[in-house]
Structure 1
Amino acid sequence: MSAKKEKHIPLSRNEILWIALFYFVFAFLYHITIKFNGYGRDVSLFDHLLNPVNFVRTSGLHYFLFFLASIPIWYLVFVKLRTWSMRNRILMTLGCLPVFVLSTQQVYYVITEYLEWGHLGGTGQVWDIYIPALFYLIQFGILYAYEHYKENQRKLIIEGELRQAALQSELAAIKAQLNPHFLYNVFNTINASVPAENEQTRAMIAQLSDLFRYQLQASQTDLVPLRDELEFVRKYLDLEKARFEDRLKINIEVAESLMDEQVPPMLLQPLVENSVKHGLSSLIEGGSIHIYIFKEEGKLRFEISDTGIGISDKAAAFDKGIGLKNTRIRLAKRYQSTLELLDNSPRGLTIRFAL
């Protein structure tokens, strides 16, 4: 869930109309009930039902007070306390019931006495407690049921979107496997067509083909031996050396005992590529890349250092390209590890992390 506070969605026009209809229906039914219980015996049923003054006197005012008293309670339990558990919100709603009943009853009595409309008296006043309480429970019961319905609809929409996203991810993964496989075969075809005397070109095409083959294999597994990952990085750097020639120096320092350690595939190459592309490529004299992997306190630790131009704004570096950003996300999600960017001495950048 987002760290931002969830905003309440305002009521739609249709929801407001349904609320108005709900109150009108209940008020009108109460209006009919009052007539059949002897109110206005001297007035015919037809005239009684269609007389707006009678409607306001018998039920309209009372239900309008219900509406006004319901607004702050609705706002409290459905907006302000929305993050509370359903149990606690229902308890709060029940706790507001006496306030709702007594406040609407007393205000109704004051207004009707002032207007000399009259109201129930004696033991009959119990109906001005029972009916508001019953209406209150029905009203908020419907509101909670409607909220539950909307929440289920929202979940169904989210589940549909997640299924669609999963399908798209699955298709993207299939394409990610097909593309390297296709290119791998194409490189082999090109390599076979290159004349034997162009041995260096044939070797570079073969290395590039191996890179795509490793990428294809990496897309089908979660972990690979460190030996395979380093071999992939070496072939990538060999191709870069063909461009940089003597301007690029490479040093890989890893104990033989660590070569069978399991690591995520395609973990080091984006970091090494970052050093070449952003650290060394702009330097006429070139530079060096040093990869140091060792084990300490039960963790496999990595340091990739270069003698390039370095990075002044290290926080912003994760927003400039996908290599550092994606590697940081992979490490955080799988190992709860942090990707550190440090200044190298005397110049350049050092990247550190641990598995």
Structure 2
Amino acid sequence: MFKRKLPYYWIAQFGGWGFYVLLYTFYYYTISAYYSDYAYYFQNMFTEAGTGFLISHLMRTVIKETKLLTLSLAKQIGWMVVTTLIFGFIYSSVVVVIEEKMGWEPEYYIGATFAYKLARMAVGGALFFTIWSLLYLMYHYVVSTQRQRINQVKLEAVVKDLELKTIKAHINPHFIFNALNSIRALIDENPDRARTAVTELSQLLRSSMNADKEELVSLERELKIVNNYLALEQIRFEDRLRVQLDIDPDTLKQKVPPMMLQTLVENAIKHGISKEMHGGEVFIGSDFVADHHELVVRNTGHLVSTDSEEGFGISSTTNRLQLLFGNKASFNIQNVAGHTVEAKIIMPVTVN
């Protein structure tokens, strides 16, 4: 059966005033010889505890209704002092009146004025309600701080999600634009191949739309998109585009950002192979290196390190890795030995 959890406030309220009863019971039996002859000690004690329980709860209701805890910390403290004094006075007045009417007063109250009784009770009442107020204020300050931190984390998650969606929203139109340019180049040259290219494009778009719904997909799924894209581009480049794959089968289940590998391959062809008269080679590798997952894309060509030449794939890859993995991932692109550009991605190993 479902059991509703008792709120922390009530646990603290019952526990605090229950401790009050236990403490004064212990005091009665072990320390105070004077009170051992006081016939109404326990009536008096339960009156004070019960009244304290009710008045402190009323005080809490007033604090909530006046939204005192939404003020600045300095104002909270100021108003809590005032509220504590007021309700401490109310508590003391109620206790003195009940004990006087019921005849439960200690001997030192007999014959004393109401003002004297009230002043004496107010000292203890002020102490109890000050302790109660401090604990209540500290608890809500800690809860408020934790809530702010949680809200900050949620806000950062929302911002990250929006940034990722923005990047994805740029990736797909960018890819479609390039693919359509490739098909347009084939229409006059080879209509049959252009029709085949349209079929390849539709398959690729279907795969990319499914991948676009998630932050991470398996490398195996990403490679299917890459293979569809390469099939489309090989219609255009024919023998000028040579592809080499070196994929460790154990890495196929590793998680990668969707369309990231495809974007790098697309960049390699657009900025590398298409500018070479005799074409070139695109190499795609995936392996575990040390305790990381390493993806490598190499292509024939030369990297010109200016912002206008780097292409959209580089900036999108860097941003997505930072958003998803922080400093646990890295991306680097550089010219390597020979007429070759290498793009290397290092990501944390995902547990399947």
Q: Same fold (TM over 0.5)?
A: no
More RCO (CA 8 Å, sep 6+): 2
The TM-score bracket by the shorter chain reads: 0.3 to 0.5
